[in-house]
Structure 1
Amino acid sequence: MDMIDPELAAVVVAMTEEVMANGIPTLPERGDALGLRELLDLGMAGILSPPSTSVFVSSHLASTPDGKELELRWYFIDSARSTSCPAVVYLHGGGMIGGKLDYYDGLARHYVQESTVPMLLVGYRLAPERTGTGLAEDGFSALQWLLEHADDLGVDGTRVAVMGDSGGGGVAAGTAILARDRGVRLAKQILIYPMLDDRTIEPDPGLEDVVAWTYDNNWTCWKALLGDAFGSDAVSPVAAPARLADFSGLPASYIEVGELDIFRDECIAYAQSLHKAGVSCELHVLPGVLHGYDRMSFEIGVSRRMLADRCRVIGSL
């Protein structure tokens, strides 16, 4: 625990004691994506959200090219609805195999209240039922829906960003790649400890004993998404954005990752590739911080600071 931010370490100890008191859940075997989904959803269902008031929400459906419909939730402050404002398309976390819109309702409300920028929460389809580039394609379908309805929603289509955390951060990055390749200009991509590289499966001895998101979890999720292509040269950068060769033309970016997160190196490398391509990128590597730290507690100092920072970036759109 000496490596972890002291406030976060206290939260981890308290969470561990609570889990042990209630009975340690059976961990799924490596490769059991549906078992891991169940465990992830169980954990996310109990997460508290930062406080928010005066945020409205409406539900919508977006059609996809394969004839399906995606659930969308539009969060907004009523007084801003008639103006031409920016907007954010948000892809939720869950390792690309789990997560639900309900788990992110409170967080979306907080971002909107603090930034005054409306947000579209996307119910994209998950692996292993949806595979490869399909998750990012769903993200792009949601982005298209927002742009098509921009006038009705009071949105300035030139000031739309994509945002996501963890697995959703990877989907958001893939959506940004699709947008660039299809001539849709984004204002920014905001990636919160994003899952970018299917090759992050070999344990780092310096991280193995402290990480909150494990290498086995990562292996299970990427295998569920990529199937037989996992780890091969056949992997599309739309599915695993770290595979991208040409970063030119991507939107200005914000990337945040913890020092004790197995995604640390891939996030740093992604930021460096953006910089080399002449794309502005604000990168934060947070000392002593684990993956998903903010969802462990919104009250600790680092969570409060970074929530405010994210709202600053959203508000700057």
Structure 2
Amino acid sequence: MTLPRPELDPDLSALIADLPLMPQLDAETLAQIRPFSSMPIEPLLDGRAIDRREVTIDGPDGARIPLSILRPTQAEQSGPAPCVYWIHGGGMVMGDRYSQIDIPLQWLDRFGAVVISVDYRLAPEVNGTTLVDDCYAGLLWAADNAAELGIDPARIVVAGASAGGGLAAGVTLMARDRQTPVPVAQVLIGPMLDHRNDTVSSRQYAGVPAVWTREMNEFGWRSVLAASSGEPAGQQVSPYVSPALADDLSGLPRTYLDAGSAEVFRDETVDYATRIWAAGGHAELHVWAGGFHGFDALFPQAPLAAAARSARSDWLSRVLDMVPAHSNGRKEQ
């Protein structure tokens, strides 16, 4: 039975009509599209006064993890800056640290933020907690090197889109549970939070052309969990990998979540926000009527995308204003 689906925003509908959509995602298709899953960063940096530094750090298992550090050239003159620790999207199976990097670059422009983007390893080459472990290692490195990087440790924000949003949620849960410095905020953009893939919104986008379908989502999760179908036999899925499984969402930093009404991840995003509120936490949720998955990354000039980006940035401005610059600790919430 085909479920009814929300109508697309008219402007987005016209734009997506010209976008070639993948009919499926499997190992063969993934090998073909991976080289095209990220755009070069150089055109985005052209005309911006940015110092770029590429480093490689040791991961928890000894693997080398690349990080890109993008810093306003005038940051040294204005004291420690806020930091956006960016985790890219791509269904956990594609993309790199430059994917969707234009989103945090807007915050570099507006807030003078230092942007650090992590190149975590991808499934299916690695699986289990490896992806989130890589991201967490990068966050710890950023916090440990805050003084050298010109970062205010009290104003580190973890942000990510799609798979990166889910990994950002997992990293934040790790920081809370391990009692390492918790980010001042997390920004979860159309986040991939629940490996069970069985919400109403997930089922609405099964068997239909879309940017990201239920079937694609199943392939991504199956790649991460390394199972032929469903959950690995005898293996418990970690809530750091699938944050919707976390029993306790208390003690999290201020959280911004958004999604489109016409996408797979709508309902798990709404549920995650609801559970943060139920635990007494701060969450701001936006569901953009007529938005499909990744609409603001694919078509940033569309009116709905511009509204989504603006709302996100305005929220982040309010959060950063609550924490005194150059503070040695995070303001109580």
TM-score range, shorter chain: 0.7 to 0.9
> Residue 307 of structure 1 corresponds to which residue in structure 2?
309
> Residue 289 of structure 2 corresponds to which residue in structure 1?
287
> Residue 214 of structure 1 corresponds to which residue in structure 2?
213
> Residue 8 of structure 1 corresponds to which residue in structure 2?
12
Q: Any stretches of 5+ residues in structure 1 without a counterpart?
A: none
Label 1:106 to 1:261 Cα distance change in 2 as closer, same or farther (>3 A): same
Q: Secondary structure at the match of 2:98?
A: helix
Are the counterparts in 2 of residues 49 and 106 from structure 1 also a CA contact under 8 Å?
yes
| TM superposition shift of 1:157 | 1.1
The one of 25, 36, 39 equivalent to 2:30 is 36
Q: Secondary structure at the match of 2:253?
A: coil
Quick one: which amino acid aligns to residue 7 of structure 2? M
Q: State the alpha-carbon separation in 2 of the partners of residues 88 and 192 from structure 1.
A: 14
Q: State the alpha-carbon separation in 1 of the partners of residues 153 and 134 from structure 2.
A: 19
Label 1:41 to 1:289 Cα distance change in 2 as closer, same or farther (>3 A): farther
Pairwise mapping of residues 58-97 of structure 1 onto structure 2 (< 5 A)?
58-82=53-77, 83-97=79-93
TM-score by length of 2: 0.84
Are the counterparts in 2 of residues 40 and 94 from structure 1 also a CA contact under 8 Å?
no
The one of 113, 127, 130 equivalent to 1:131 is 127
TM-score by length of 1: 0.88
Stretch deviating more after TM superposition (134-143 or 36-45): 36-45
Q: State the alpha-carbon separation in 1 of the partners of residues 191 and 136 from structure 2.
A: 17
Pairwise mapping of residues 129-278 of structure 1 onto structure 2 (< 5 A)?
129-184=125-180, 185-201=182-198, 206-208=204-206, 209=208, 211-228=210-227, 230-231=230-231, 234-278=236-280
Label 1:114 to 1:291 Cα distance change in 2 as closer, same or farther (>3 A): same
| TM superposition shift of 1:191 | 0.3
Q: State the alpha-carbon separation in 1 of the partners of residues 316 and 58 from structure 2.
A: 27
Label 1:198 to 1:163 Cα distance change in 2 as closer, same or farther (>3 A): same
Q: Any stretches of 5+ residues in structure 2 without a counterpart?
A: 321-333
Are the counterparts in 1 of residues 199 and 268 from structure 2 also a CA contact under 8 Å?
no
Q: State the alpha-carbon separation in 2 of the partners of residues 224 and 40 from structure 1.
A: 14
Are the counterparts in 1 of residues 93 and 220 from structure 2 also a CA contact under 8 Å?
yes
Are the counterparts in 2 of residues 201 and 218 from structure 1 also a CA contact under 8 Å?
no
Cα offsets for 1:132-163 (capped at 9, x unmatched)? 11111111100111011101112121221111
| TM superposition shift of 1:58 | 1.2
Q: How many residues align?
A: 307
Identity %: 31
RMSD: 2.6
Stretch deviating more after TM superposition (216-225 or 83-92): 83-92
Are the counterparts in 1 of residues 6 and 262 from structure 2 also a CA contact under 8 Å?
no
Quick one: which amino acid aligns to residue 217 of structure 1? M
Cα offsets for 1:48-87 (capped at 9, x unmatched)? 9699622332111121121111110111212223512221
Are the counterparts in 1 of residues 190 and 257 from structure 2 also a CA contact under 8 Å?
yes
| TM superposition shift of 1:279 | 1.1
